[in-house]
Amino acid sequence: MSHEASRPVSEENAPAGQVPNTEENAGTETTAAATTAGAGTTFGAGATAGADSTAGTEAISGAEYLKKIVSAPVYRVATNTPLENMETLSKRIGNEVLVKREDLQPVHSFKIRGAFNRMSQLTDDERARGVVAASAGNHAQGVALSGTELGVRTVIVMPEVTPSIKIDAVRSFGGEVLLHGANFDEAKAKAMELSEVEGMVWVAPFDDEAVIAGQGTAGLEIFQSRPDVDRVFVQVGGGGLAAGVSVLLKELDPNIQVIGVEPEESACLTHALAAGHPVALDHVSLFAEGVAVKQIGSETFRVCREYLDDVITVSSDEISAAIKDIFDDTRAIAEPAGAVALAGLKRYAATHQVEGETLAHVLSGANVNFHSLRYVSERAEIGEGGEGIFGVSIPEREGAFLEFCKILGHRAVTEFSYRVGQRDGEKPARIFVGVKLKNGEDERKAIAEDLREAGYGVVDLSDDDVAKEHVRYMIGGTPGQHVDETAYSFEFPENPGALLHFLEVLGTRWNITGFHYRSFGMDHGRVLAAFEDVSGDAEFQEHLQQLGYHATDVTDSPAYDFFISAE
């Protein structure tokens, strides 16, 4: 999905008859000042962000942000990272593609910029009290290293399930680690308690003017390297990086387009724009955990709404494909959040037929869990349109397998799963097949059409998450008799006791008729479970809520219906 918007309007670039943004009309909605971005939302209209952190105070202007960014002393710890040409991708999409290498920072993430800028402004009294932060990721490392450089004690509260590699990284930069709680919210509550009870200074990860200004130095470096850039793509999580980069670039050159990019299942800015103020999402996908934020900050929302030209969303498959693109051109391995901006760049260029332009994106970090690369590798080809996945019904007789393969011709088969079914010839066999594509979606549709014309039943499963995460590993047939079952996809935390908790809550009262789990080396895992006779069962729904794991009913998934469900 794509939300179009015009660039912010000033006295210099306001079209005839259009009201420019000035102090006199800031905060008013002017239809001519911006196009809509979702229902009732505007970019560049100078509108306030509902109940934000600046309520009751005068919001900082773009010019003031520019001064703060230019004077930010981040280079005591941060690096002026290179802006490199991605030659292979540039040739492929017909644009000059530049990557801002924030993975080359000392903490392998842009977060060091904002953390140090904020902490450099501590008073002597605040330094003596120390700082506290809650994070299981890049912000934690940025705060820890900044504290070491400034001689300030730093305490990082992390969930008890945080992988040891992240804990060790924080300690290596000089931070004290306090493990508390089962999730980020509980860790943050403990950090806030330390701030209130012990007087430690809370260092916010994004919703802070000094943090925004620090992150904005990345945008300043982009402008200094290539002031002729046409569009810059920036990932959006809490909004600190997008706010800082966009306000800097638009203040220096309003003609540069700045576009925010979010994962489809963690689109807190997109939802905030639709509502007109920050809203809390019920659930966020943890694949790109660095931008998996339930609610954008108040100040970051205000700045992003005023200075971003557009906001688009991308899928996990597109992010995986972008990770591969970055590796192919730079040999760097981006974390999923680090590749979000490139995924948006590629989608935007394809959707808007952009050619011959200079497009930049921020590789925001490379703190990737090595074992998660298995998942990325499996999904990258699909995200690039390089693989099609199909469920196909073929006759249960000799020679049928060969006939099917002949229709595929010389195309490379990437995956093939089959199990013998009924031998009476009345019921066809069902196969799961992956095919390597050269021409993306058009070829995918052509394959499906060729198979249908040959008399085969075909279901295109290339966009079906249940197929890609579970069913491809479960091919083997349906129950021998009819079972009234409902299937759910669960998001499990990757910690000891998670499965036991699941079974204690749901596995004793209701019969589990199907189950699949596979670890992808991330902080969370996906589980597919089917239950017998729970449709309309209010008690089951109550226990589902009690479980505390995000669950989605996938009984009607095409892949589940084709291969697994009881008939």
Which one of the listed residues 68, 100, 109, 111 is annotated catalytic?
111
Report residue 135 as tokens.
């994070």
Whole-number Cα distances in Å, 108 to 170, 257, 467, 491:
12, 26, 34, 28
From the candidates 364, 393, 462, 489, give the one annotated as an active-site residue: 364
Burial class (CB in 10 A: 0-12, 13-18, 19+), 11: exposed
Closest to 25 (Cα-Cα) out of 13, 9, 42, 38: 9
Instruction: Look up residue 561 and give its DSSP letter.
Output: I
111 classed as catalytic: yes
Strand boundaries in 330-383, DSSP class E: 358-363
364 given a catalytic annotation? yes
Tally of CB atoms within 10 A around 199: 13
With b for 16 or more beta-carbon neighbours within 10 A and e for fewer, the 45-82 pattern comes to bbbbbeebbeeeeebbebeebbebbeebebeebbeebe
Residue 497: how many other CB atoms lie within 10 Å: 11
* DSSP characters over 488-513: EEEEEESSTTHHHHHHHHHTTTS-EE
Q: Closest Cα to residue 322, out of 268, 269, 381? A: 381
Can you list the alpha helix ranges (DSSP code H) found in 421-462? 440-453
Alpha-carbon distances, residue 190 vs 135, 193, 270 (angstroms): 11, 5, 30
Token pair belonging to 482: 């009819």
Residues marked active site are found at 111, 364
